[in-house]
Amino acid sequence: MKKLYIETYGCQMNVNDSEVILSILSKAGYERTEEMSEADLILANTCSIRENAEQRVFGRIDVFRLEKKKRPEVLIGIVGCMAERLKDKLLDGRIVDLVAGPDSYRRLPEMVAAVNPGNPQIDVQLSRTETYDDIAPLRLDRNGVSAYISIMRGCNNCCSYCVVPYTRGAERSRDPYTIVREAEEAFAAGYKEVNLLGQNVDSYLWKAPEDCPEHCGESVNFAQLLEKVAAISPQLRVRFSTSYPSDITDEVLYTMAAHSNICRHIHFPVQSGSDAMLEKMRRKYDRKWYLERVARIREIVPDCGLTTDVIAGFCGESEEDHRDTLSLFEEVGFDAAFMFQYSERPGTLAARKFEDDVPPEVKTRRLNEIIALQNRKGAENYRKMIGRRLEVLVEGPSKKTPEDLCGRASNYMMCVWPDSVHKAGDYVQVEVVDATPATLLCRLV
């Protein structure tokens, strides 16, 4: 067996892509190693979402090159979202041996075989159809409890700040029957949770091919897919992300309400609280619409956990726009948020049309204001849970206090409790006795 060392950057979809890559390369005789020093092939599965993500990868490429200096036979490959954007730069100066974009992973074995000194391999062709639906991912062992399943690839939104449509191509939905099969296999292998992944799960729509004898004429939307996966077993939890505020339907919310194993959590990226910014970002909703959807979520799925993403300092953002974001955070009260400063991405609509004119120190100050407000609101939400009884799926020992167990409640809040009886994959009932800003301190009941 040859040895593959792989580092993964970016989102959950990239983690799942690395699992697909592992599966494809394992058939070509590679097994995974966690030691770079014993690898025959070193891969970085990369992210382009913000400049600092790319900078980090360039730092790692320098480290890989040192390894290659020591062992010239080792191959270095850059795969994923940076591949397309940086193919020229990466291949210039023979920094790496191969570059493969997110839709080229099936070709990795032949690409690896074709590399010879001075002949780097490159394939960054994007596809309209590739979903890797027949490939059983070789799960990276995160906790053995929760498995990622990609249900679609690419993105058809055109958010003006975002590089993803360029790096991952057009949106396509995966055959639901292969998704259900993969979820069943994960459950049979001991996983207790599946996390259905897509850039915009609400636009999932699969139509049976016309020549399909079994499912001719059938179409499946996201609510129907959720229903099918939830039906596998009440013991299998279902999560999903990411939801797009203008596309999430009442049908999805009612499906969540009807199945207690569909977790009560929606990741609901708002990006800004200002209508002017939302329009400039080419988001397809305004503040009022967003708040109405939040109200609808809370009406149909009571106790639903809500998390979000936000960008501070987008092009032309005024103090008033920024205050609109703060007031929206105050009004909604998210449990948690991923908060970023705007980072201009070459080639995007915003880079072409708008000036990146908010000074860095202003971006940082606004981001810090959002973070401070969110920390306060998040902590309030956690404290509100004191006294509640919750069902938690055990993930394993707590990182900070290994004699305790940890796991998530349905609403995605992290729980920690003293326990010497249960193990990863068990469901336990706990009562919340105290809370830190991002953890519920519990006891078994």
Binding site for ligand SF4 (CB under 6 A): 10-11, 13-14, 47-49, 81, 163-164, 167-168
Beta strands in 57-105 (DSSP E): 75-80, 98-100
Give the C-alpha separation, 19 to 10, whole Å: 14
Calpha distance 56→54 (Å, rounded): 5
On whether the CB atoms of residues 79 and 100 are closer than 8 A, the answer is yes
Residue 311 interaction partner, one of ligand 5AD, ligand SF4, none, beta carbon < 5-8 Å per kind: ligand 5AD
* Amino acid letter, residue 48: S
Give the separation between CA 296 and CA 299, rounded to whole angstroms.
5
Asked if 243 interacts with ligand 5AD (CB under 6 A), we say no
- Our finding on whether 252 is near ligand 5AD (CB under 6 A) is no
Query: Taking CB under 6 A as the rule, does residue 268 contact ligand 5AD?
Result: no
CA distance 52 to 54: 5
Residue 44 C-beta: closest distance to ligand SF4, Å: 11
Interface pick for ligand 5AD out of 247, 309, 426, 431 (rule CB under 6 A) = 309
For ligand SF4, which is the closer residue by CB, 16 or 33? 16
Of ligand SF4, ligand 5AD, none, which one sits near residue 50, judging by CB under 5 to 8 A according to partner kind? Answer: ligand 5AD
Tell me if 343 contacts ligand 5AD by CB under 6 A. Answer: yes
Q: What is the largest CA-CA distance in the chain?
A: 65
Nearer to ligand 5AD, 183 or 332 (CB): 332
User: How many Cβ atoms from other residues are within 10 Å of residue 115's Cβ?
Assistant: 17
Q: Does 342 bind ligand 5AD (CB under 6 A)?
A: yes
Stretch that binds ligand 5AD, among 76-84, 298-306, 325-333, 340-348 (CB under 6 A): 340-348
Please choose, out of 19-27, 294-302, 335-343, 383-391, the segment that lies near ligand 5AD by the rule CB under 6 A.
335-343
- In a 13 Å sphere around the CA of 13, the CA atoms on its Cβ side amount to 25
Query: Total binding residues for ligand 5AD by CB under 6 A?
Result: 12
Number of other CB atoms surrounding residue 188 within 10 Å: 10
What is the smallest separation between the CB atom of 50 and ligand 5AD, expressed in angstroms? 5
Shortest Å distance, C-beta 14 to ligand 5AD: 11
Count the neighbouring beta carbons within 10 Å of the beta carbon of residue 346. 11
Determine which residue in the list 74, 78, 126, 162 makes contact with ligand 5AD, applying CB under 6 A.
162
Strand, coil or helix: what is 238? strand
List, in order, residues 6 or more apart from 45 with CB less than 8 Å away: 6, 7, 8, 9, 10, 14, 17, 18, 21, 79, 80
Sites of contact with ligand 5AD (CB under 6 A): 49-50, 161-162, 269, 271, 309, 311, 340, 342-343, 345
